[in-house]
Structures are given as structure tokens and as C-alpha cells.
Amino acid sequence: MLRVSRPAGHGRLIGVLATVQTQMSEQIHKRSAPSRSAEPVSDDAVVAAGSDKLKADIDDLLDEIDDVLETNAEDFVKSYVQKGGQ
Amino acid sequence: MAIAKVCGIETEYGILGRGPDHNPVAASSLLINAYLSATQRRTSWDFDDEHPGTDARGFSVDDLLAPSIETHLVNTVLTNGARYYVDHAHPEISTPECRTALDVVRYDRAGDEIIRASMRAAAALGSELLCHKNNSDGKGNSYGCHENYLMAREVPFGRIVNQVTAHFVSRQVVVGAGKVGSEHPATAPGDVPYQISQRADFFEEEVGLETTVKRPIVNTRDEPHCDPSKYRRLHVIVGDANMSEVATLVKVGATALVLAMIEDDALGDDLAVASPVAAIRQISHDPTLTRTVLMRDGRRMTALDIQTVLLERATAYAAQRGLDAVGEQAGSLALEWWQRIVAGLGGDRHEVADVVDWVAKQRMVEAYAARHGLRPADARLKAIDLQYHDLRPDRGLASRARLRTLIDPTEVASAITEPPVDTRAYFRGRCLAKWPDQVSAANWDSLVFDLGRDPLRRVPMMEPLRGNQAAVGALLDESATPSDLLARLAV
């Protein structure tokens, strides 16, 4: 039997987006819990933290693209020619 | 009851050598030879199409004259049961026969690692070769990532065509790999800055035999590589190669489920696209997912609408009939992810950017263009598209896209050398590993042994599930030589 990650809550979650999703599902859980009205501020805080995190993550991603993108992208794209296959 | 959806993927990788004299056929041969020299003794692929004893069930041993082996292009079999070869100027890997979509993901990932190991082996010999797991060069040349599914011969082919086409046209919104620009001749430059599928621009027919020109949405190749009286192999050429493991799982898992439903006549005839060839392109060219296509009954549906209906029916089918045909674990996981992706695409798309290739790539392209103020035609955006599929660890962008993984790296590593345990690939792989010098040739449905005496002996494997570990594991363990093995197999 293969060890695999389940869509939610099981196994190893990889990547920052997975973390964001986990926070969001916790948030949904909080909303449906009986104590929901007690701490409305923390919900917003989770959302704000999640969206800041997402933005920071995309910024990191763009930095990485800048690092690894072919230095002469135009030549690389122009010279990328394949023979047709199946 | 639907039969086991034994399945597999064949991927033609893009290949590029540095330098003006780059010859892709020579480069592909060099790539594969470098890998084989570094790893294992070569066993040739057997092109002999004869099947002695066509109605043989399971194993029987036949005497045979030496098969004719084509030697001018590299073509070999690996100990994991896969085939690694040069095809149409590309290196190509066919996974071994797998029992489930999850195993296909594992062997597809192993294939990527085999290509990476081959690039390292070629570099050690002084050749820098770049391999990409994509399906087009952006200049109108396409190469495939094909899937194969075992189906019962008794299912009328017309029913398959009628019922599966809507899935093949619409599934790209879930599993497309994304592409900057368009290569369709009727599209003006700039009209399609970004599209969902790598392949959709290249389909010109609804049904047909071709794979390299006038590509059909449903391919009619009838070459089962197993008992043709019982089975057919549905050869699917409409898909993109995926970098996302979840996308590969859903591509194969959802398709296997749809085919099981068709086999059980549980899908129905009502979901048919009026003009599939136009529709597959229209859907790909609309990343907003809002464009509708005309159905044969006059309705208009978006691709997401079609996928939603298919998903609902597959869920109901699974509840009523179970998931035996596609494997319980893999089937339920594929259904969960299919559902989650369809929901995400209909809601907040960022939620599926870690599993849907075209969304992950689109996010990179758009965010990068915004940061640097680039026009849609800027070469840097096409470079992002190409490098998303780049298998060089220091250049590849998919590995930086925060994609979720399903398979533990140790499971990928073992799949590079070990065959699946639950199909005939087990017998093929184990024999190759145990007796590399005496297996003189192999193909999907037979192994040829050279025992040092005349003549060569062929072992037919006409049943895709026989030859698994449960059936022949002990036999292989106990046989000291191939002669032993053949003596035990010959009933």
C-alpha cells in the first residue's frame, strides 16, 4: 500500500499554500463552532495573516524566477525548436 | 462489472542539445545510452509482432526462432518494467503496466527521475542535454503524453467514442498543463496570451488512427498488447504531460473511472459535445472558464459544467458499484481531488494553484508580468512557460511552484528500479533484474530467453494482471536459473 497525502488534514502537507489552506479550514471550523461569536477578531486575523502570507510567498516565488530564468530569454525561446512527435 | 483498468503513461520528452549541430535523434540516443551505461545491461525491445498461441491463458512456453530486432534506434527495457527508447526524435518512457492511477503517478515520477539521471550521465560524458516534460515548442511542433487503459473487447467501440469524447474535450480544465500563446493556425498572434492546454491546438479530427498528423480526440489504434479476443487497449493521445502529481492522479484516475462507467453502461449518452474539435480549442483558449460549448441536445455548457456532471455520476457510480475496477485507495483519492479541483476552479482559483498545472503556471506568468511590467508577448513569459517543464534542477520552475506531492521520495526512488507488484510488469522486471544476460528481448506481452542453446524460448504474457508477485514471486525466488524457471512454468 502506498503512503500518500490526503487532500485535507492527512499526511504531509507541502508548500506554503497548503499551510494557508489549513488555516482556512481551521477558520471554517472555528466559525461553525459554538464559541464562534466569542472571538470574531481572531478570524479576521487568520484571514489577514493568510493573505499576507500568500503575497509574501508569491514575492518569494518571483524572486526565485528572477534567479533561475534563462539570462537571455529571447535567445532561449527562439532556439527552443523540437521535431514534431506523436 | 467493469474489468480492472490496468493503465500506463508514455511520455515523449522535449530534448535540446547545446550547439548549432544539434541533432535530436542522436541526442536522444546519447541520453539513453549514457543512462544504460551508467546503470544496467541493455536488453533490447522485441519488435516481433507474432504471438505464438494467441489464445494462451497465462503462461505457456513456446519455442521460437530468433526474433528480428531493430537495432538502429535505442530501445530498451528497464528493470522496473518500463520501456525507454527513441521515438520520433524524442526520448520516450512508457511506464510499466500499473493497476491503479496512484501507481501511474509513482512510475511517471520515476520516469522524470530517470530522465534527470540520464542528463547527469550524458553531462559526465561531456554532453549537455536539456530535457523538458512538455508537449510543444511554441512553434507548432507537438509531441505526446499518451495514456493507455485496458478495456473489455466486448464494449462496442462506438459507445466509447460517443460517451468519452465530452470528458476528453473538457477534462483539460482540471488537468491541463497551461501554455503561453497559441499555435493554432487560425489564431492571430496576441489573441490568446495564455491557454489551458499544451495540446489542444493540435487536434483536427474527432476519431481516427493518426498520432502525428491530423490528430484525433479519440484514437482508434487497436493494438492491445494482450489477448485481443478479451481486451482492447484504449490509447489516449489528447492529454498534456503533467508536472503536478495530483494532476496526473486525476487525469488517469478520473479517466479510468469514466471508462469503467462506459464499460458498465452506467454513464449514459446524453453528455455529447456538438463540435468536439472546435470545442476542445475554444475551451483551452478561455482561461476564464466562462465560455460555453453547444451540446448535441441543444444545451450550452461550460467545460466545468461538463466536468461537474461527470464527477457527480462518477461519485454515484462509486457509491453504487464500488471502486474495484480502479483500485479502492487510488479511486477514492482521485475522486476526492477531482471534486476539490472542480470546486476550486468554480470558486477561488488560488486554492488549487498547488495542484492544477495551468493555474500554477498562469499565476507565475501573470505575477511576473505584473512585477516587471511586461507585455504578453515578452519572451520572458514564454521562457517561464518552457522552464516550468524544465527537468534541470537548477532551472526548472515546477519544482519551485509549491506544488503538492503525493508520493514519498523513497517510493519514487524504488520505482526507478523495482516493478509494480500487481501486474505482469513484475515478471518482466524481475526476470530482467535477475538474469540480465539471458533475457535477450522483451516486449509488453512476451519475454524471450536465450539459454545458450538453440532455439530462443519465448514466454508469452497475454494476461496483463498475471505474472504478478502473488502468482510468480515465489517461483522467481526459487528459480536459480532461467532454465529452472522455464521448466517450472511449462505445465
Which among B18, B4, B70 has a CA at the least distance from the CA of B392? B18
Task: From chain A, pick out residues whose CB is under 8 angstroms from the CB of B344.
Answer: none
Mean per-residue pLDDT for A37-60?
A: 70
Q: Which of residues 333-352 of B touch A (CB under 8 A)?
A: 333, 336-337, 340, 350-351
Mean pLDDT, chain A, integer: 65
**Phi and psi based region of residue B448 (left: phi greater than 0; alpha: psi -120 to 50; beta: remaining):** beta
CB pairs < 8 Å spanning A and B: 140
Nearest to B211 among A16, A76, A86 (CB): A86
For B266-279, the pLDDT digits (tens) are 999 999 999 999 99
**pLDDT value, residue A7:** 63
- Give the N- to C-terminal CA distance of chain B in Å, as an integer: 31
Distance CA B216, CA A83 (A): 19
**pLDDT value, residue A6:** 63
Look up B222 and say whether it is catalytic.
no
**pLDDT value, residue A15:** 34
Q: How far is B20 from chain A (nearest CA, A)?
A: 10
**How many alpha carbons fall within 13 Å on the CB side of residue B240?**
33
pLDDT at A24 over 90: no
Name the residue of chain B whose CA is nearest to A16's CA: B402
Inter-chain CB proximity A17 and B15 less than 8 Å: no
Inter-chain CB proximity A17 and B402 less than 8 Å: yes
What's the pTM? 0.89
For B125-170, the pLDDT digits (tens) are 999 999 999 999 999 999 999 999 999 999 999 999 999 999 999 9
Joined grid coordinates for residue B484: 529452472
What percent of chain B is modeled with pLDDT above 90? Answer: 87
For B229-275, the pLDDT digits (tens) are 999 999 999 999 999 999 999 999 999 999 999 999 999 999 999 99
Please tell me which residue, A35 or B346, carries the higher pLDDT value: B346
Q: Which of residues 275-304 of B touch A (CB under 8 A)?
A: none
Q: How far is A16 from chain B (nearest CA, A)?
A: 7
Q: At B347, is the secondary structure helix, strand, or coil?
A: coil
Q: Which residues of chain B are modeled with pLDDT < 50?
A: 50-71, 491
Q: Which of residues 368-407 of B touch A (CB under 8 A)?
A: 368, 371, 379-380, 382-384, 386-387, 394-397, 400-407
Identify the band that residue A53 occupies on the pLDDT scale cut at 50, 70 and 90.
Answer: confident
**pLDDT value, residue B84:** 96
Buried residues in B231-259 as b, exposed as e (16+ CB within 10 A)? bbbbbbbbbbbbbbbbbbbbbbbbbbbbb
**pLDDT value, residue B397:** 98
- Domain architecture of chain B: domains with CATH: 7-413 (3.30.590), 421-489 (no CATH)
**pLDDT value, residue B249:** 98
Q: Which of residues 118-157 of B touch A (CB under 8 A)?
A: 136-144, 146
Inter-chain CB proximity A61 and B400 less than 8 Å: yes
Question: Can you tell me the ipTM of this complex?
Answer: 0.89
Q: Is residue B456 within 8 Å of residue B446, measured between CB atoms?
A: no
